[in-house]
């Protein structure tokens, strides 16, 4: 009887040991699987973040390539008058080319094709004989030694300066009326729209008295 009882006990112990081992193995496999899944999720999240960052960088690069644009109203003796969009820093010749070119009836000597354009300005190309000699001389003043007195010039006279259109010319006059005379030509940089680049293009053509 004792031998039979011992055999029964051994069987029970073996069964318990096998059960415990089975449970332990199952738990170990579950933990390992969970860790692997977590790693995959973290890895995928990192990849997603990297993709988003790359897209953002590419977007910023594209925006830099596009640059700033301006719009001007070109009318008079050109083939196709109207509002034209150009890159910032474009010159009158660029606008005329986009408009199909200048007409044979245009007074070429009264137009400075090399001047830098300003956003929002209107450019009128006159017919031959339409503009007086004085008007033509004023429009081309920036190509001569004549300097514009920024403390006395009207908004129309200020428009002969390189890159100064009607909008910016009015700002200069309004600033002068509100703040008083410009003591130095560099003070004109206090006017909104006149930065280092534009100031350098007009510096040699302006004076304060």
> Are 40 and 27 members of one domain?
yes
> Are 199 and 136 members of one domain?
yes
Q: What CATH code is carried by the domain that includes residue 112?
A: 1.10.150.280
> Which one of 66, 88, 122 terminates a domain?
66
For 43-70, the pLDDT digits (tens) are 455 455 555 655 554 555 555 445 588 8
Q: Helices (H), strands (E): how many in the chain?
A: 6, 5
> Are 170 and 181 members of one domain?
yes
> Are 96 and 194 members of one domain?
yes
For 192-209, the pLDDT digits (tens) are 989 888 898 888 889 887
Q: Which residue from 193, 175, 152, 177 is spatially nearest to 70, judged by alpha carbons?
A: 193
pLDDT the model gives residue 118: 79
> Are 88 and 122 members of one domain?
yes
pTM: 0.40
| Residue segments in the chain with a per-residue pLDDT below the cut of 50 | 1-3, 42-43, 46, 57, 64-65, 142-145
pLDDT the model gives residue 156: 83
> Which one of 33, 66, 99 terminates a domain?
66
Range of the domain at 87: 69-207
> Are 86 and 44 members of one domain?
no
> Which one of 19, 50, 66 terminates a domain?
66
């Amino acid at each position: 009887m004792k031998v039979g009882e011992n055999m029964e006990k051994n069987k029970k112990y073996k069964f318990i040991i096998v059960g415990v081992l089975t449970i332990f193995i199952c738990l170990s496999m579950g933990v390992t699987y969970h860790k692997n899944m977590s790693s995959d999720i973290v890895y995928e999240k990192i990849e997603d973040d990297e993709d988003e960052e790359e897209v953002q960088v590419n977007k910023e690069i594209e925006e830099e390539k596009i640059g700033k644009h301006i719009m001007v109203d070109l009318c008079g003796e050109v083939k196709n008058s109207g509002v034209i969009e150009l890159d910032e820093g474009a010159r009158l010749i660029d606008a005329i080319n986009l408009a199909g070119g200048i007409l044979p009836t245009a007074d070429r000597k009264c137009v400075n094709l090399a001047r830098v354009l300003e956003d929002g300005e209107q450019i009128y190309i006159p017919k031959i004989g339409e503009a007086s000699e004085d008007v033509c001389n004023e429009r081309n003043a920036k190509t001569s030694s004549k300097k514009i007195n920024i403390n006395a010039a009207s908004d129309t006279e200020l428009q002969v300066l390189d890159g100064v259109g009607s909008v910016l010319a009015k700002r200069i006059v309004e600033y002068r009326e509100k703040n008083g005379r410009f003591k130095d030509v560099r003070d004109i940089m206090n006017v909104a729209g006149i930065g280092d680049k534009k100031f350098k293009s007009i510096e040699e053509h302006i004076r304060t008295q």
